[in-house]
Amino acid sequence: MFTGIITDVGRIVATEQRGDLRLRIACGYDMASVDLGASIACSGICLTVVDKGPDWFDVDLSAETVSRSAPGMWREDRRLNLERSLKLGDELGGHIVTGHVDGVGEVVVLEPSGDSTRVVIEAPQALAPYIAGKGSVAVDGVSLTVNGVDGARFELNIIPHTAQQTSFADLALGSRVNIEIDILARYIGRMIEMRG
């Protein structure tokens, strides 16, 4: 479980296609404090540390994980938003994030708004009912507040601090991003579906 508050931006330094895809991710974490088997969210996807060194860790991605995440995400030199898993007693500064991608969206508007950046993302139609104005959403693992919703499109405001502390500086029109809807919306939606 995570909060959507990014604590490092890593970079994929090597990829190897085995039975699964193995990635080596360079990071700023003190890896002595990270156990093998620990979970680290990588741009919104909960992955397991399978090997590590002083400033890197390896993860394996199944074909399922690759197919459900943003196309082109798992290439060398790609920057990833990193967050270590939540510990009991940690501050919950964002919202509850599971590290499971619900869908892939596309950036359709990217424009300055004061010192911030206004971003509009087109989500898959099936996710639209679960995204609400002033609700929470995780985009590439970052906990954000939805400013407004229009059909399957939702609007965000990226403040300069968030842009500097995440991979959002790399966003461009047409960028594909991982979306995780709010966990409460997911369960309420499922309950309503089961009643119907």
**How do the domains of the chain map onto residue ranges?**
8-84, 103-195
**pLDDT for residue 22 is more than 80:** yes
| Residue 192 φ then ψ, to 5° | -65, -40
- Whether the pLDDT of residue 93 is over 80: the answer is no
CATH class of 8-84: mainly beta
Burial class, 93, CB count within 10 angstroms (exposed 0-12 / middle 13-18 / buried 19+): exposed
Spatial strand order in the sheet of 136-139: 142-145, 136-139, 176-181, 103-113, 116-122, 153-158, 148-150
CA-wise closest residue to 6 among 25, 29, 34: 29
Please tell me if the domain spanning 8-84 has the same topology as the one spanning 103-195.
Answer: yes
Question: Which of 36-45, 52-61, 180-189 shows the lowest per-residue confidence on average (mean pLDDT)?
Answer: 180-189
**What is d(CA 107, CA 116) in angstroms, rounded to the nearest whole number?**
16
Band the pLDDT of 88: cuts 50, 70, 90: confident
CATH no. of 103-195: 2.40.30.20
- Percent of the chain beyond pLDDT 90? 86
pTM equals: 0.94
